[in-house]
Structure 1
């Protein structure tokens, strides 16, 4: 391990131990070192793969974005912009990022060409108890009422915080709520989130994002998204927690907001 990589690993450790510290830019060499060259996959997502990373004393999660084209670069910058604004006990802690582009010489159609090899990665605290979806599917937990209440309360606190920061999550669901050491919920994955300026509260899109069953009706019907869209998703999550299962809400249940 070179001196630069060693210094970056030590700095990441310091950031994890200081809740007030800001995330830092880290090198691709440091990312490869802490993930042992991307040896262990934690989870797969629509926009990338999450790997386990090890610092000196603590573990981290590294999200590697896939399909690195102009659109994914925009998504990376949008997610990075949202993550830099949030520090809360019910939001997964963001500690660093890597944006590395290098020229690679390759053979293509019989000719030697130089291609850009882009790496875009995000580094987070490691949250040990999986996500809320697994909790709802694993019947060994027992679903104690106090535990359910604490999870609901924590999600509400986290969502209220990001809305105060004028961020709409837009993909709130059990799989995007991680559970910490004491089962405290931490909202995760801001890959499709949007930052709203002071003059607007609603956005219009031709391509609605989110997960079926958790997308608000106005998003599907009219392409209108706002913080109310997150509140609808929250309502579905609460119903599933109270029912003790993971899935869409029954037809005879209606969420009024």
Structure 2
């Protein structure tokens, strides 16, 4: 699909049809809709995100950083596999991808040579209200319990979808939770995610990836990765939403909460079990969903 008009029409069609599958997009097309990658809206350890303009609609285009020691096409394919499987209102919607190679004239040993540069890009729905990290930095939100409760529920729903599809996210943190126009959370950034085959629930890695403070203790200690790895990160996010990040001692964070509020008290108890250093004492997301239904009935 090389014609840019055809690609534009196809991408608009995907945005209208929630059941449509992601498509392959060309580098020139993505460059065109982002103003030659001039409208930056975010960046992280794996690339820069740009706003794409489709006329009446917007998209987000993530241009991945091709750093040999940190990137491989195997990781790129793994991320796409996870994104295609992860379809839920609380997971950012994946629209398309690009795997082009562009020729570029560069100066090498005093001579101009033509170098072929791989370009790897991902296209997503545009989520307008930034990320949860920025929300938590704004202390004026501290009294919005209904909104924060909605966020906790949404993140749990999104993670439940991932685990049902046998996907471990492995980098759950506020910066990877996007907020839509209704402040509904959407889990994003699957750069280090893993898809577990049926019957496999535990793997080991020699390369520690993720964000310190959200990585499970067993992953740091011996590279062990399970679905409980995500539960640890979820617990930290719940704690931050309960306290709006206002705690200095990880052991006594719950002392600042209104424990007379039944929902707050229940989520605090869940969060404490989620961040247990012993992974077998952490609940599954299925168990958390059961507890959440009980909390909703309060």
Q: Which residue number in structure 2 is paired with residue 194 of structure 1?
A: 194
Is residue 128–residue 181 contact of structure 1 (8 Å, CA) maintained in 2? yes
Cα deviation for residue 107 of structure 1 reads: 4.2
- Paired with 1:236 and 1:124, the residues of 2 have a C-alpha distance of 26
Q: Please list the CA deviations of residues 133-188 of structure 1 after superposition, one character each: whole Å capped at 9, or x if unmatched.
A: 11111123344111111100000000000001010000000000000110000000
CA distance in 1, matches of 2:247, 2:20: 37
Unaligned runs of 5+ in 1: none
* Partner residue, 2:61: 62
Q: Secondary structure of the residue that 2:170 maps to in structure 1?
A: coil
Residues 1:154 and 1:249: Cα distance change in structure 2 (over 3 Å): farther
C-alpha RMSD of the superposition: 1.9
Separation (CA, whole Å) in 2 of partners of 1:247 and 1:168: 28
- Report how far residue 7 of structure 1 moved: 1.4
Residue 72 of structure 1: CA displacement?
3.2
Compare 165-174 and 7-16 and name the one that shifted more.
Answer: 7-16
TM-score for both structures, normalised by structure 2: 0.81
1:77-226 matches, cutoff 5 A: 77-111=77-111, 113-226=113-226
Q: How far apart in 1 are the matches of 2:66 and 2:101?
A: 14
Cα 1:132–1:105 shift into 2, 3 Å: closer
Which region of structure 1 is more displaced relative to structure 2, 139-148 or 11-20? 139-148
Shift in alpha-carbon separation, 1:47–1:249, aligned structure 2, 3 A: farther
Q: Report the counterpart of residue 291 of structure 2 in structure 1.
A: none
Q: TM-score, normalised by structure 1?
A: 0.93
Q: Which has the higher helix share?
A: 2
Gap regions ≥5 residues in structure 2: 254-271, 277-281, 283-298
1:78-131 per-residue CA deviation (whole Å, 9 max, x = no partner) reads 211111111110000110111101344544224554421211100001100111
Residue by residue over 1:171-230, the C-alpha shift from the partner in whole angstroms, topping out at 9 and shown as x without a partner, is 000000000110000000000000101131011011222111111111111110111000
| Residues 131 and 174 in structure 1, CA contact (< 8 A), matched pair in contact too | yes
Distance in 2, matches of 1:159 and 1:75, equals 20
On the 8 A contact 1:137/1:246 being kept in 2, the answer is no
Aligned counterpart, 2:260? none
Deviations 1:56-94 (A, max 9, x none): 211111000112548332222221111111111000011
User: Quick check: 1:13 aligned with 2:12?
Assistant: yes
Q: 1:203 to 1:32 in 2, by over 3 A?
A: same
SS in 1 for 2:210: coil
Over 3 Å counting, the alpha-carbon distance change for 1:183 and 1:133 in structure 2 is same
The higher-RCO structure (CA 8 Å, 6+ apart) is: 1
Q: Is the 8 A contact 2:155 2:186 kept in 1?
A: yes
Aligned to 1:22: 21
* Residue 112 to residue 148, structure 1, CA distance change in 2 (3 Å): closer
Q: Is the 8 A contact 1:9 1:56 kept in 2?
A: no
Question: Structure 1 residues 143 and 174, CA, compared in 2 at 3 Å: closer, same or farther?
Answer: farther
